[in-house]
Chains A and B, each alone.
Chain A
Amino acid sequence: MGADDKSHEELVREVEALRRQVDALKVAARRYQAMVGNTALSVQVCDAAGRVVEVNQGFESCGSSASTWCVAT
């Protein structure tokens, strides 16, 4: 039995489960943003190649704007 064979109810349950996961991820992302964005610490996020992709407000308060540090992603 393939995906096409799923009943309407099963599809609804899967979609709802995915939606809950997305919501949880959104909450986690907002929590992360709240923590990193409001901490007094300077935080940089670098990609696997070592390029700066994101900096927080604490980092920018040291005098450098995010745009001068971060590569376009």
Chain B
Amino acid sequence: MILDDLQLEPSGSLAGVRRAYATGEATRLPAIRYDPRHTEGVSAGSAGWVASSIYPVKDEEGRLVEAVVMHYEIGELARSEEELRAQNEALEAAVAERTAELSEHIRLLHAQQQAIRELSTPVIRLWEGILALPLIGVIDADRAAQIMENLLAAIVEQRASQVLLDVTGVPVIDTAAASHLFETVGAARLLGVHCIVVGISPKMAQTLVALDVDFTRVTTAPSLQEGLRLALARRAAGSAGSRAQAQG
């Protein structure tokens, strides 16, 4: 009974058949995968994709007497579409998986870069109120910004009054690197902190002179040890001045 065939229901075909019977109008039915063996009383046949149309036949008074149902097999087409859809889904899943992997790698890389940046600009407390910032490697714009950020944070946190910028581990100080250093020194000065640049090698000094970089505004010392001695002397002088001021 085509009017009660439950296989036609999910696709909306059964509603189409009933509408054709009720209105007497030809109706195209959606494509479905039909298995005749699921029909009551039918045990043979094989499942396949079909698209169907139903054409009601009416008598002279307009009453429906029969309906002609034509089925078009679309097995190959449906299978191709199904395979294409499955391939697309697999491809999209693979792309999504790979994207997730790459995102995770990028996140790890960023975390590692951040860790490297933090490790490459360690701020060490040498004495009460005296910090040391040993710089190792090339000082570019990104690194200079990181150095300044870390140093200023440490100055505030440690209530420092003096900082030793140790450039022993910096292979080259050119005009740009010197400019970054001056900016750092200037920013620290705004917080009331005195900076001493230590570790300038003879070769580096020659280069800076050749480049006409003016280091006269910055206190320098040949080594970290000498820089610390200067800082302690300055600290002692500051304390004595404060005491004299208090007594006077």
Residues 46-73 of A at the B interface (beta carbon under 8 Å): 46-53, 59, 62-65, 68-69
Task: Report whether A50 and B45 are in contact in the complex, using a CB–CB cutoff of 8 Å.
Answer: no
Stretch with Cβ within 8 A of B (4 or more), from A1-9, A10-18, A21-29, A37-45: A37-45
- Which B residues are CB-close (under 8 A) to A59? 71
Task: Report whether A62 and B36 are in contact in the complex, using a CB–CB cutoff of 8 Å.
Answer: yes
Task: Report whether B70 and A41 are in contact in the complex, using a CB–CB cutoff of 8 Å.
Answer: yes
Task: Report whether A68 and B70 are in contact in the complex, using a CB–CB cutoff of 8 Å.
Answer: no
Task: Report whether B71 and A42 are in contact in the complex, using a CB–CB cutoff of 8 Å.
Answer: yes
Instruction: Give the docked Cα–Cα distance between A68 and B39 (Å).
Output: 10
Instruction: Give the docked Cα–Cα distance between A11 and B64 (Å).
Output: 34
- Which A residues are CB-close (under 8 A) to B45? 62-64
Task: Report whether B46 and A62 are in contact in the complex, using a CB–CB cutoff of 8 Å.
Answer: yes
User: Known: A41-B70, A64-B42. Contact between A46 and B2, CB under 8 A?
Assistant: yes
- Which A residues are CB-close (under 8 A) to B69? 43-46
Task: Report whether A63 and B71 are in contact in the complex, using a CB–CB cutoff of 8 Å.
Answer: no
Instruction: Give the docked Cα–Cα distance between A69 and B45 (Å).
Output: 11
Q: Which of A43, A50, A62, A63 contacts B4 (CB 8 A)?
A: A50
Does residue B73 face the partner (Cβ distance < 8 Å to A)? yes
Q: Is the interface of A mostly helix, strand, loop or mixed?
A: mixed
- Which A residues are CB-close (under 8 A) to B44? 63-65, 68
- Which A residues are CB-close (under 8 A) to B67? 45-46, 50
Residues 55-80 of B at the A interface (beta carbon under 8 Å): 63-73
Task: Report whether B3 and A42 are in contact in the complex, using a CB–CB cutoff of 8 Å.
Answer: no
Does residue B43 face the partner (Cβ distance < 8 Å to A)? yes
Closest to A43 in B: B70
- Which B residues are CB-close (under 8 A) to A68? 41-44
Q: Which of A47, A63, A64, A65 contacts B66 (CB 8 A)?
A: A47
Task: Report whether B65 and A48 are in contact in the complex, using a CB–CB cutoff of 8 Å.
Answer: yes
**Would you list 16 pairs from A and B whose C-beta atoms are within 8 A, ordered by A residue?**
A41-B71, A41-B72, A42-B50, A42-B70, A42-B71, A44-B68, A46-B66, A46-B67, A46-B68, A48-B64, A49-B1, A50-B2, A51-B1, A62-B45, A64-B45, A68-B43
Using a CB–CB distance below 8 Å, which chain B residues touch chain A? 1-4, 17, 21, 36, 41-46, 48, 50, 63-73
Q: A46-B2, A46-B68, A48-B21 are in contact. List 11 more A-B contacts (CB 8 A).
A: A43-B71, A44-B69, A48-B66, A49-B3, A50-B1, A50-B17, A62-B45, A63-B36, A63-B44, A64-B45, A68-B42
For the complex of A and B, list the 8 residue pairs with the smallest distance between their C-beta atoms, beginning with the closest: A50-B3, A63-B45, A42-B71, A64-B45, A44-B69, A50-B2, A46-B67, A50-B1
